[in-house]
Amino acid sequence: MTSQNYVLGIVGSPNPEGRTSELVTAALIGAKQASTETELIQMSDHVMQMRAIAPIPSTRFNFAASLERAQESGRTIADASLKRSPFAGLEERLLWYDALPYLGLNRSEERRLLAALTTMSPSNRASAKIAGGMARADVLGASGHPLEALLEITKVYEAGIKVIDDI
């Protein structure tokens, strides 16, 4: 750090080309335009194929318990650093992250929710295509095919994001 005007952006997402990285990068561009020195650290450049642990939702009402859970998480992270196990592929990584609870939704459910919101788009043709893909994903999931359901909902999610980007 060479100046007092310094902004450090840290991206913890395992996807270096993902939206989290894009948002942090955009913030750093804004800081740089304000004549501030910036630096971006992409954690996935330093930690190969990170395996996340469950988040710790914390409020003033459960703060003491959250501190205990944070210490447990620290021990879990330390243990995981001793026995690294890279993901076999994208699907294994997606299913790993889907197993992490976050506000009652796994990543597949979150993607489905976001895709459903895109059906409110002014483009009726896109909405019908997205709704059809969501129905296929639901049928696959209900019939015991979680991987195929996840792949379908990912297609739906990406199509939904494209609809929003094109508006």
pLDDT in tens, 113-139: 776 766 655 555 567 777 888 899 899
CA distance 92 to 148: 12
Closest CA relative to residue 132, chosen from 119, 147, 122, 146: 119
pLDDT score for 9: 94
10-residue mean pLDDT series, the chain (167 residues) = 80 80 94 94 75 69 82 86 79 76 66 68 64 89 90 83 69
Contact 101, 144 (CB under 8 A): no
Give the domain ranges of the chain: 6-45, 87-166
End-to-end CA distance of the chain: 40
